[in-house]
Structure 1
Amino acid sequence: MLEKGKQYKDAKALKVHVAALFAGAGRSFHSGNGGGRQKKHICNGAKGRCLAEVRACKQRSGEFKVTFIIPDHNDCSGGKVGARSAALEGFASAAMVSNPTVKGTDLKRSLEQQTGLKVSYSAASRLKVAATRASKEQLEHGYRIMTSYCKELVKDCPGSIAVVQRETTGRFRSLFFMLGRAAYAAVRSPIKVVGMDGAHLKGKWNGQMLTLTCKDANNENIHVATAIGPVENTDLYKTLMRGCKKNPKMRDFLEDSKTTFYTDQHKGGKCALEGEAPLAQHRNCC
């Protein structure tokens, strides 16, 4: 949803979302005067005193940040566009998020059930292609801004650790983050138990997510840290443990001989423990 403060990877991505905003109200728009760093998109009903407008400014990162927005139309006689198509695109995008491999015939049926509109097979196919393209762009944009997100996380949550590793080409390699308050609760707990496990990620980038959990003083599970990488192996488990050990108290907790780790029988977890916490006890949960 277009809103003040939201950032888009470039001017084209911004314009696509502005078009969706105006199309949702059945209106078209034009781009107003602005410098190289400024973008202004105005409803075509502006001559009729419609105030609907979106302004954005280019950031140092190259992204465009929405600085001003009036989404509502008033006294508007601007040119109308296909609001029906815009509405269907929204439903199609939601359907693709919940089921990325949905077939065109199933998407057609779903759209008709949700909207009550008659949707042709060709229209459903076009909507599927558009939704897939938009989803891919959104995913790629998310990985690009992950470093900025980690910096904000560390700033807003004292004691947290967040690290993004990239290839020499700039391509995403791995992510680690640990919440400071969760680590604080873990090291203060008298229950020295740690669980580590992994799971596949869905979507275009079929990576792995590892989690490290502990017990608090009330015997409740705490999700302390997460590592995301391409495969579940020793290196990724080491990334998870080494990230946690950047906190001195977590390092002492994990390396304590009284601490017991529970993992499945994946050899990556065992090898990582032998190198990173050789004194800790290790048990297999399955």
Structure 2
Amino acid sequence: MAQSVPNGLFVMVELNYQGVFNRNRFSYTSGVKTIFNDVEFSSMTYSEFVTFCERFMHEECRKYYYCEPDMSFMEGLNPEYSSFIFDAYGTDGVISVYVDHIGVGVDGWHDDEDNDDDEHDPCIDGENEDNIDELRNVAFEFNEDVVHMNRTSNDPLLRQDFLLRCSKGACTFRLWASWMSDEENFQIKSLKAYHNCARNFKFGSLVTYAWIGSHYTKEIVESQKISVRKLRLKVMAKFGIQVSMGQCRRAKKYALKLVEGNLVEHYGKLWSYGHEILRTNPGSTVKLDMEDGPDGKKYFSKFYCCFQGVKQGWIEGCRRVIGLDGCFLKGVCKGELLCAIGRDANDKIYTIAWAVVNVENKQNWK
């Protein structure tokens, strides 16, 4: 049988309202707290959740945020309702919800913070996204580490021997050269090429969030809740490069986008996908439901599919038994995958139909 939500029908939700988001301290102040432990949120759509909260508070609100478990208030705020349901029924503690009554736009505060980080980071000169291929076959020069003399055509020093040394006093790098009047160029007489000093890695705009994301795509996808600070330490340990918190935060988003692609574009193809199934598999069943978001846009709710060939194969060659099963989707897009399965003549699992929903409940099973 299908798995039920982890902690039963009820979870503990702390609703924070009549307060304001404080940008300076990044907190929610002057609010009222109420804990609900007898409400079945899993059966509510987003619009039903909004109606429930507004009736309780007796006032209108602009947006809701919840704080993801095991994350700080600054990094854990998330406005996605489907993620809230998934995390609420996946934790044993209290999950906090914060009401934005005036529409302050907390979503943009992270970007502003990232810009501030970059402005004060001495190791970052720019944030332009360069082509990663440009990093290949690049000869990095450390001109700031070498003291050299001014060379012009009228400089009398060009006719003498001179020494080129490292700016770090204890470094052993030395180069002696002499001016060759016949050939009108310098000839290296002696060279100690080894540097024993620490070089200053200032790559500027070469080290972008895209470069970081491309190198750590596998780690980020396998551990999507990796903290920004931990990712920053990984970059420092592996490459010896200091990057900003803002770069690492954008690198996580970039890496997930590389794997998942543009989610808006992908979900926009569901209608075409459904029509193509019906065209190429006459008799199949496809159902796609949408729901209205608080911004007036349409959002994905659930998708159901049953191929005619699979349905007919179950009728003609399988036992008259149907089992129901489901599992959580742990990718970028949260939700649950529900399946109707049977047993074939070889006593193997035979998938009859499947559906993707935001949460498992009686209404979605119908």
As a proportion of its length, which structure holds more helix? 1
Q: Which structure would you say has the larger Rg?
A: 2
Query: Which structure has the higher relative contact order (CA within 8 Å, separation 6+)?
Result: 2
The alignment's TM-score, normalised by the length of structure 1, stands at 0.47
The alignment's TM-score, normalised by the length of structure 2, stands at 0.38
